[in-house]
A and B are shown apart, each in its own frame.
Chain A
Amino acid sequence: MLEGLLGAYGSVLPLILPDLLGGVLGTLRLACLAFALALVVGLALALAKLSDNRALRTPASIYIEIIRGTPALVQLFLVYYGLLSIGVKFNAFEAAVIGLGFNVGAYVAEIFRAGILAVDVGQREACYAIGMTRLKAMRYVVLPQAVRTVLPPLATTGISLLKDTSIAALISVPDLLLRARDLTSEYFMPLEIFITVGIIYFLICFPLSIIVRAMEWKWHPETR
C-alpha cells in the first residue's frame, strides 16, 4: 500500500524509519540535556543580573549580550573545534550540550528576570500584612504568578531549542538530521528523506506549540 502511495520511496521508508527514529532519540536526548543546562545557566545569570552587586551584574550582562549577538553555530564550532587547540577536548555530543545549553541559557536568563520582576513587590507586602510567612507568600502568591509569566516563553524557548539541535548535525552529532544526511547518500532520495525528517520534527514540535498557545490563552487573556 505504501508503494502505491509513495512510489519507490514506499519500499525505502520502512528500511530507513528505524534509523531515523534512532536519530530522534539522539535529538531528544540532546534537547533535554541542553535545556536542563540552559535552565541552570539562565537562573544563575538572572539572579546575577538582578543582584545589587555590580561585580555580578556587569559580567552577566556582557555574557548575555555576547551570546545573543553571535550565532549558535559559531559558538558550537568554538566549543568543539576551538577549545581543542587549547587542549580542552569534548566529543561532539558533549560539545553540543554545552554549546546549546550556554547559548539558550542567555535567553532563559531574560525570561527568568522578567518573570521575577513581573510580580509586584506589593503582592509580597500584602501577604505579610495578612500574616503569611515568607515561605507561604512565595508558595501561594509569588510563584504561581511568576510561573504564569515564565512558563509560556520558557516552553517556546524549549521548542526552538528542540529545532536548533539540528545544527548539532553540522558538528556530526548523530541526531535526526545527521542520520538523514547519511541516508540520503545511501539511497539518493534527499527530497523524500528530508521531507520525512521535516514531518518528524513537525509531529514533535507542533503539539508542543499548541500546548504553549493554550497556556497563553488561559493565563494571558490580554494577548488574545
Chain B
Amino acid sequence: METYAYILRTLAHACVWTVTVTIAAFVIAFVLGSILAIITTLSSRAVRYLIYAYVEIFRNTPVLVQLFIIYFGLGQIGFKLSPYSAAALGLGMNGSATVFEIVRSSLKAVDRGQYEAAAAIGMTRIQSIRYVIIPQALRIALPSVGNYAVGLVKDTSLASAVAVPELAFRARNLVGETYLSTQIYLIVAAIYFVLSLPLMRLASRLEMKLSSGRHKNA
C-alpha cells in the first residue's frame, strides 16, 4: 500500500509537468498558428509560400523527430535548451501547423460578402479582418481547436523522450523502481483520460452547439 501511495504521489507531481507543457505548447501553437494564418491572407505570394513550406515541413514529419532536432540537434550547435523548453517549443511549433490549417480554413469559411460589406462601410483590410472576420472565424475554429488541445495533452507524453519529468517519463522510472508495470501504466492511462475527458466533452459540445447555430442561419 505504501508503494501505491508513493506511486500516486510521484505521478501527481508529474501531472503538473504534463499540464504545464500542454499549456505552454498550446499558447505557442495557438499564437504562432493564428498569426501565420492571418499573415497569409494579407501578404505577398513569396511570404505565403514560405509559410506554406513551414507548415508542410511540420505536418509531414513526426513530432518526435522535431523534438529530437530541437533538443539534441540544436544542443550540439550551442543552443542548449532545457528539456521543458525544448518540449514546449517543439510541440508548440508542431501544433502551430495544425492551428494554421484550422484558422485558415475558418477564415475561408467566413462568407466573402462579409469582407465586401466591411469594405463598403469604409473599413481598411486590417480593420475588417480584426473586427469582422476574426470574431466569426474564431467561432468556426473553436471545436477544431478543442480537438487539437485533446491531441496535445496526449502528445505531451512524447516529451518523456527528451527527459521532461512528466507522466510517461515518471511512469518509466517508477516501473524501473517497483516492477509494477501493468498497474503503473494503467494508472497513467487513467490520469491522461481524466485530463483529456473534459476537453473531449467540451469540444464535442461546442461542435454540436455551433453546427446547430449554423443550421438555423441556413
Report A's interface with B, CB cutoff 8 A: 65-66, 68-75, 77-78, 81-86, 159, 163-164, 166-167, 169-170, 177, 180-181, 184, 188-192, 194-195, 197-198, 201-202, 205-206, 209
Asked if A71 and B60 sit within 8 Å, CB to CB, the answer is: no
What is the chain A residue whose CB lies nearest that of B68? A194
Asked if B77 is at the interface (CB within 8 A of a chain A CB), the reply is yes
* 16 further contact pairs, Cβ within 8 A, besides A69-B193, A163-B63, A177-B68: A69-B154, A70-B154, A71-B154, A71-B168, A71-B189, A73-B157, A74-B168, A74-B185, A81-B185, A82-B181, A82-B182, A83-B182, A163-B60, A188-B76, A191-B69, A201-B62
Asked if B161 is at the interface (CB within 8 A of a chain A CB), the reply is yes
Asked if B72 and A71 sit within 8 Å, CB to CB, the answer is: no
In the complex, what distance in Å separates the CA atom of A86 from the CA atom of B155?
Answer: 27
In the complex, what distance in Å separates the CA atom of A51 from the CA atom of B134?
Answer: 42
In the complex, what distance in Å separates the CA atom of A86 from the CA atom of B179?
Answer: 12
| Chain A proximity of B158: nearest CB distance (Å) | 6
8 nearest A-B residue pairs (beta carbon)? A191-B73, A190-B72, A71-B154, A166-B62, A71-B157, A205-B60, A163-B62, A81-B181
Asked if B56 is at the interface (CB within 8 A of a chain A CB), the reply is yes
What is the chain A residue whose CB lies nearest that of B189? A70
Task: Please give the number of chain B residues whose Cβ is less than 8 angstroms from any Cβ of chain A in the complex.
Answer: 44
Asked if B185 and A78 sit within 8 Å, CB to CB, the answer is: yes
What is the chain B residue whose CB lies nearest that of A72? B154
Interface residues of B in 71-126 (CB under 8 A from A): 72-77
21 A/B residue pairs, CB under 8 Å, sorted by A? A69-B196, A71-B155, A71-B156, A71-B192, A73-B158, A74-B188, A74-B189, A78-B182, A85-B180, A159-B60, A163-B63, A169-B64, A170-B161, A184-B72, A189-B76, A190-B73, A190-B75, A192-B73, A194-B72, A201-B61, A209-B59
Q: Mark B133-157, 1 if CB is under 8 A from A, else 0.
A: 0000000000000000010001111
